[in-house]
Structure 1
Amino acid sequence: MKKVAAVTMVRDDLFFLRAWLRHYGEMLGRENCTIVNHGHGPEVAELAAGCNVIGIPGDPHKNFDMKRWGLLNGLLDGLRRYYDHVVVGDVDELVIVDPETGLNLPEFLDKTPTGRVLTPLGLEVIHRIDLEMEPITDRILGPRRHVRPAPHYSKPCIVSAPARLSRGGHYAQYGELHAPEPLYLLHLKYCDFGTFTQVMNQRNAMTAQVKADPKKAAIGRHWFAETRGEDRAIFEAFAELEMIDGFNMKPLRRRMHRTWAPRDERGVQGYYHFKRPDYSTQYVLPERFSGVI
C-alpha cells in the first residue's frame, strides 16, 4: 500500500485536534501524522502522543499566516520525499472519501496515481441550531448532517508532486486540476455553536496582542474581534440558506474545471485557481456519511 502522511499546525484548538487525530491517526497511524505545536502547548503534546510533534514558539506576529504556510510548505516538500501522498491543511479541515466507494482515504489514495495534486470538493459542516440539539461527543457527522458548498475550501491539499501552496493553502503552483468525485474536504469551523464561540474568543485574544491593522496583517480577518460579527446571528442565518434536494455535487466540480485558469498571487506567478462564488444553498448529507468523522 502507498505511504500516506498528514500534517497540520495547531494552537490550543483541542476540539478540532481531537477530531483530526481520530480521523488521520486512526487511518494512517499516528507515526505518519506530523503536528506543529504552535506555542509548545502541553495539552496539544499530550493529545498528540505517538505523532511527530514539532514544538515552535507561540509569539504573536502580524504575518502569522505567511510564516505558518512557509513552515508547512517546507514540511510538505520534505515529507513528499518519503511518502507517496501528503495531506496538508488546517486542523479544522478533514479530507474524506464518499462511503459509497467502500474505501477509506488511504485505500482510495492507494489506487490513485502519484505525481499530482488532488483538490477535494470543499463543504462546510454547519450547525443548524434550530434543528440539531444533539451534542457532539466522539463523532461529528451524525449529530451534524447539514453542509453548505464552500469553494474557498476546495483546496489543493493532497500532494504527491513538487508544488508550493499559497498562504492559507488555497492555491498551488501546479497547472492541472485533479478533483476526484469521491473526495471531499470538510471544513468544521461552524460545526458546533459552543465550540465556535470558544475558539473565536481564543483567536481574538491572540490578535489583540499583536495590535495589527486587520487590513494589513497576514491573518484572516475573522481572527479580529472588530470583524467577527455576532455569533448567534451567524448560526441562525444558516436556516435561511436554500435547501437543495439530493446530494449531487457534480455541477460544483464542473464549475471548478470550467473556470480553471492561472492566478496572479500578489505578483507571484505560477499559481492556478478556479472561481469561488458564494453559494446561498445547503444540503443534508446522506445517512452513509454518519460517523465518517
Structure 2
Amino acid sequence: MKSVAILTMVYDDDIYLKIWLSYWEKFVPRSNLYVLIHADYGHYEQMASGCNTIRIARPPMHAGSEVSRWKMLSSLASGLTLMFDRVIYTDVDEIIALDPKHGNNPIDYILDRPEPVVSPFGVDLVEPIELDLPAIDLSRPILSQRSFVACNPPYSKPCIISDPVIWGTGGHFINREEIYLSDALVLFHLKLFDKLTYRERAAKRKAMVTDPETGELIMGPGGKEWMRTDEFHEYTIESRQPINNIDFRRPRKKWLESAKFNRRSGVWRRSGRSHKQLHRIPERFDNVF
C-alpha cells in the first residue's frame, strides 16, 4: 500500500491551521500529517493533537530568514521521501483540492501519478469588495461561502514530490526542469479569502518584519507580501457566472514553458503574474472544503 506524508508550518495561524487539518484528515489519519511549529508550541501541539508535531526554533528575523527556512523545509521533505511514496508540503494557508469531476480523493489521485514532481494549478481565493459577504463560518464549507478566484500561476508550486529536491524561497521553484502540471489538482491560496482574517494577519506579519528599535522594515523575510496590509481593491469581478473549469489555459501554458535555470540559487524558475480578475468557480467545488 502506498504511503503519503503531508507537511505544513504554522506561526500564529489558528484559522488556517483549523482549515488545513479539517481538510486533510478527511483523507489520511493525523499520523500522516506533520505540523512544524514556529511559535506558541503548547497551543499548536494541542490543536494538532495526533499529528507529528516538530518544534522549530525561531532565530531573530534577518534578511536571509526565508532562505534558511526553505533550505530546512527542502531537507526535511526530501528526507521523508526516503520513507514515504509521496511527500506534500503546503503553507498553512494553501489547500490542494481535486476537481470533483476527476474524483473525490486527492490522495488517491496523487499516489497514482508516476511523475516525480507534481504541481497543482494555483489560484487566489478572494473575498470580492463588490460583495457584502458575512464573516466566514468555519463550521460550513469554505468554498460555499467564498467562490471567486483569480488565476495565479506562481502558486502552481512543485510541492508534491517522490524524490529529494531543493525548493527555492517560497516553494515556487525547484531544482528540476521537468514537472507535471496537473489539470485535475488546484492549489487554493487562502490569504485573501476573508477580509477580517487577512487584516488581522497582515498587521501581525508587518510587525514581524519591522525592527522594534528603529521602526524600519527588515528587507528580505517574506518579501514585499509581508509588508502589505490591504490588497482587496486590486481585484475586480470579471463575471458572476460560474466558469466551466479552473484551468486558465493560456497563462498555464505560458507559465509551464517559461522555465529558466538560475545558477545562483540552483533552481529552475518560471515566470508569471498574479491576475486580478475574479472568476466564480464551478458549483461542483462548493463542498470540497
The two structures have a TM-score, normalised by structure 1, of 0.88
Choose which of 258, 261, 264 in structure 2 pairs with 1:263: 261
Tell me, in whole angstroms, the C-alpha distance in 1 between the residues paired with 2:276 and 2:2: 39
Pick closer, same or farther for the CA change 1:213–1:268 going to 2, 3 Å: farther
Counterpart position of 1:284: 280
* Cα pair 1:141 1:290 within 8 Å, conserved: yes
Mapped pair 1:73 → 2:70: no
In the alignment, which residue of structure 1 is the partner of 2:18? 18
Return closer, same or farther for 1:201/1:216 CA change in 2, 3 Å cut-off: closer
Q: Cα offset for 1:79?
A: 0.8
The corresponding residue for 1:142 is: 144
Change (3 A) 1:132 1:285: farther
The aligned residue for residue 200 of structure 2 is 198
**Equivalent position of 2:122 in the other structure:** 122
Aligned residues: 282
Q: Which amino acid aligns with 1:222?
A: E
Structure 1: 5+ residue stretches without partners: none
Matches within 5 A, 1:1-293: 1-62=1-62, 63-113=64-114, 116-131=116-131, 133-137=133-137, 138=139, 139-209=141-211, 214=217, 216-224=219-227, 228-229=228-229, 231=230, 234-238=231-235, 240-243=236-239, 246-248=243-245, 249=247, 250-257=249-256, 259-264=257-262, 267-269=264-266, 271-293=267-289
Identity of aligned residues (%): 30
SS of 1:45 mapped into structure 2: helix
Q: CA deviation at 1:131?
A: 2.1
Distance of 2:265 and 2:271 partners within structure 1:
18
Distance between the aligned counterparts of 1:128 and 1:91, measured in 2?
22
Structure 2 residue identity aligned to 1:242 = E
Q: Is the 8 A contact 2:237 2:279 kept in 1?
A: no
Structure 2: segments with no counterpart, 5+ residues: none
User: What secondary structure is seen at the aligned counterpart in 1 of 2:143?
Assistant: coil
Cα distance in 1 for residues equivalent to 2:259 and 2:154:
15
1:103-152 alpha-carbon deviations (Å, 9 max, x no partner): 311111232115x1111110000002432523322321110000000112
Q: Secondary structure of the equivalent of 1:44?
A: helix
The answer on whether the counterparts of 2:210 and 2:216 sit within 8 Å (CA) in structure 1 is: no
Q: CA RMSD in A?
A: 2.1
Deviation of 1:196 after TM superposition, in Å, equals 0.3
User: In structure 2, do the counterparts of structure 1 residues 244 and 263 end up closer, same or farther at CA, with 3 Å as the change threshold?
Assistant: farther
TM-superposed deviation, 1:94: 1.1
CA pair 213-161 structure 1, distance change in 2 beyond 3 A: farther
Give the number of the structure whose residues are more often helix, by fraction.
1
Q: In structure 2, do the counterparts of structure 1 residues 6 and 200 end up closer, same or farther at CA, with 3 Å as the change threshold?
A: same
Is the CA contact (8 Å cut-off) linking 2:79 and 2:164 kept in structure 1? Answer: no
Q: Which amino acid aligns with 1:273?
A: R
Give the drift of 1:235: 2.0
Structure 1 residues 221 and 79: alpha-carbon distance in aligned structure 2, compared to 1, 3 A threshold? same
TM-score normalised per structure 2: 0.89
Work out whether residues 125 and 148 of structure 1, in 8 Å CA contact, stay in contact via their aligned partners in 2.
yes
**1:94 partner letter:** I
Deviation at 1:215, TM superposition (A): 7.3
Structure-2 separation of matches of 1:278 and 1:57: 32
Distance 1:278 1:46 in 2: 36
Per-residue CA deviations over 1:139-196 (Å, capped at 9, x if unaligned) read 2111000000011211101011232111110100012120121011110000000000
| CA drift at 1:213 | 6.3
Alpha carbons of structure 1 residues 217 and 180: separation in structure 2 relative to 1, 3 Å: closer
CA distance in 2, matches of 1:169, 1:281: 24
In the TM superposition, what is the alpha-carbon distance from 1:199 to its structure 2 partner?
0.7
Letter in 2 for 1:262: K
Distance apart, 1:201 and its partner CA: 1.7
